[in-house]
Amino acid sequence: MSSRAALRLRTLQGHLGSPEGRGMESVSSPLTTHVLDTVSGLPAQGLCLRLSRLEDHGQQWTELRKSYTNPDGRCPGLLPPGQVKTGTYKLSFDTEGYWKERGQESFYPYVEVVFTITNETHKFHVPLLLSPWSYTTYRGS
């Protein structure tokens, strides 16, 4: 099987919920994200993102992780098990950098998705559908 065909198969498996298509995300990270570029219809590979948690003292954001989306638009191991605490979190996506890399002007320089975790035992999935002029997010499963 060609590497291109293998990538398409892994992408399809991930969308269909096959464990083989989800890599280590499904096993090790209780927090996942998946970014899709709605202009190309493909996963947004190489998009820089930062995960932060709001700390009680002084209402300051503490950065927990900086990472980049993989070829499937996902970020495996975003928040390792045991590091989940109840509280408010923020995923910041560098959308301006992503679109500049593609020679595309964009309206939103970054997208911040702020959410609250109230149960440390649940899994949380934050999908982002992205274009240079709009974005959509929701709590996924």
Q: Which residues are annotated as a binding site for substrate?
A: 34, 74, 138
Torsion of CA 51, 55, 141, 65, to 10 degrees: 20
90 CB-near residues (< 8 Å, 6+ apart): 51, 52, 53, 54, 61, 112, 113, 114, 115
How far apart are the C-alpha atoms of 94 and 49, rounded to whole Å? 6
Largest CA distance in the chain: 54
Do the Cβ atoms of 72 and 11 come closer than 8 Å?
yes
